[in-house]
Amino acid sequence: MEDQFEPVIVAFCCNWCSYAGADLAGVSRIQYPPNARIIRVMCSGMVHPNLVINALTKGIDGVLVCGCHLGECHYVEGNKKAVSRAEGIDLMLEDFGLEPERFRLEWISSSEAQKFAEVMTEMTETLRALGPSPYRARG
């Protein structure tokens, strides 16, 4: 039996909401695929498009940016900045020959552990269907 491709996802999660939601998923023992490498950032608006593109062009299969719901940002408008940056990232993906599904922006609050698990599951399944990043080193 051939091994199934397992994507590697980098998830940038805001400290105040999404990271706490991921933590709650863990302590609540909510199951989701272990494909994500979670990086805690203070705000989703801090995630520069270069971070996303660099990860993808170095062979990461997908990047997820999670933040507070719009109107609930601890830095007032940080998540609105994340939306603007996501629009730029979407444009750059095509330039790099990458499918738009390899990048995702989600709003997940600290109490939404189930939503965090669902987003991680959906993204993992989507990336499995797409296959490995064209930038992934072939061994």
Rounded to whole angstroms, how far apart are CA atoms 54 and 106?
Answer: 20
* Token output for 16: 């105040």
Question: pTM score, two decimals?
Answer: 0.95
* Token output for 122: 């959906």
CATH number of this structure's domain 9-130:
3.40.50.960
Cα angle 44, 14, 80; round to 5 = 30
* Token output for 29: 């023992």
Domain ranges of the chain: 9-130
pLDDT digits (tens, 9 = 90+) for 75-120: 999 999 999 999 999 999 999 999 999 999 999 999 999 999 999 9
Q: How confident is the model at residue 137 (pLDDT cuts 50, 70, 90)?
A: confident
pLDDT digits (tens, 9 = 90+) for 26-73: 999 999 999 999 999 999 999 999 999 999 999 999 999 999 999 999
Highest average pLDDT, of 1-5, 53-57, 133-137, comes from: 53-57
